[in-house]
Chain A
Amino acid sequence: AQTIHQWPVAEIKAVGSPLSLGCTIKGKSSPNLYWYWQATGGTLQQLFYSITVGQVESVVQLNLSASRPKDDQFILSTEKLLLSHSGFYLCAWRGTMNERLFFGHGTKLSVL
């Protein structure tokens, strides 16, 4: 069975500090991987997606970057956090175009 693990579960960071969020998927080769962001009380926004190692497409510009260093790993990062980065970050994967998304449990980020 496939599993998706996100880390950390929650993070409190200062404005201007760096950030790195991780996501690993086990039990599925070559998944399509996604990062979503949800502001408190807001809607889901797709940030990035990746269909293969080393390739990442940006959907929304939020002064964040993403990388896929391995087939089963997806990293979201920034060198300088903004207050507006606060929210809920979700990693997700799916196999093919018409398959459902499987979400990780999410990371709650508070930028102070």
Chain B
Amino acid sequence: GDSVTQTEGLVTVTEGLPVMLNCTYQTAYSDVAFFWYVQYLNEAPKLLLRSSTDNKRTEHQGFHATLHKSSSSFHLQKSSVQLSDSALYYCALPRGNTGKLIFGLGTTLQVQP
């Protein structure tokens, strides 16, 4: 069945350094969009990035991700993290032509000074 995998539960990075948060997926559907959501402490998740185009880089708020259908991946990257980037990051994809939306388990990004 369809699934989203985020392998890291916690990623700790020093401010100013780059980071990559992994997301891989499994879906039987070819024409779907993929999402990254960010959730700050005590807040609701907010959309960070969205993509449905293979091999096209999508950017927002300094983060970028490229959907690679060949490797079933949609990793989130940033070249220089800031303290304010500390949050929980979710990768998500719609589950076929139903109302369901699948979230990964989430990766907590902890940026330290």
Instruction: Report which A residues bind B (CB closer than 8 A).
Output: 32, 34, 43-44, 46, 49-51, 57, 59, 90, 94, 97-101, 103-106, 108
Interchain pairs with CB closer than 8 A, number: 59
- Chain B, residue nearest A33 (CB): B99
**B44 is an interface residue with CB less than 8 A from chain A:** yes
Within 8 A of A (CB), among B80-101: 88, 90, 92, 94, 96-101
Show 10 A/B contacts (Cβ-Cβ < 8 Å), sorted by A: A43-B103, A44-B39, A49-B101, A51-B99, A90-B44, A94-B101, A97-B94, A97-B98, A101-B37, A105-B43
**B47 is an interface residue with CB less than 8 A from chain A:** yes
- Chain A, residue nearest B94 (CB): A97
Chain B: how many interface residues by the 8 Å CB criterion? 28
Contact B94 A44 (CB under 8 A): no
B-side contacts of A57, CB under 8 Å: 99-100
Contact A101 B106 (CB under 8 A): no
A-side contacts of B44, CB under 8 Å: 90, 103-106
**B46 is an interface residue with CB less than 8 A from chain A:** yes
B-side contacts of A51, CB under 8 Å: 98-99
| Cβ distance A25 to chain B, nearest Cβ, rounded Å | 14
Bound-complex Cα distance A77 to B99 (A): 20
A-side contacts of B101, CB under 8 Å: 34, 46, 49, 94, 101
Taking A59-B100, A101-B45 as known contacts, 14 extra A-B pairs with beta carbons closer than 8 A to each other, sorted by chain A number, are A34-B99, A34-B101, A43-B105, A46-B102, A49-B99, A90-B45, A98-B31, A98-B33, A98-B52, A99-B33, A101-B47, A101-B101, A103-B44, A106-B43
Bound-complex Cα distance A46 to B4 (A): 13
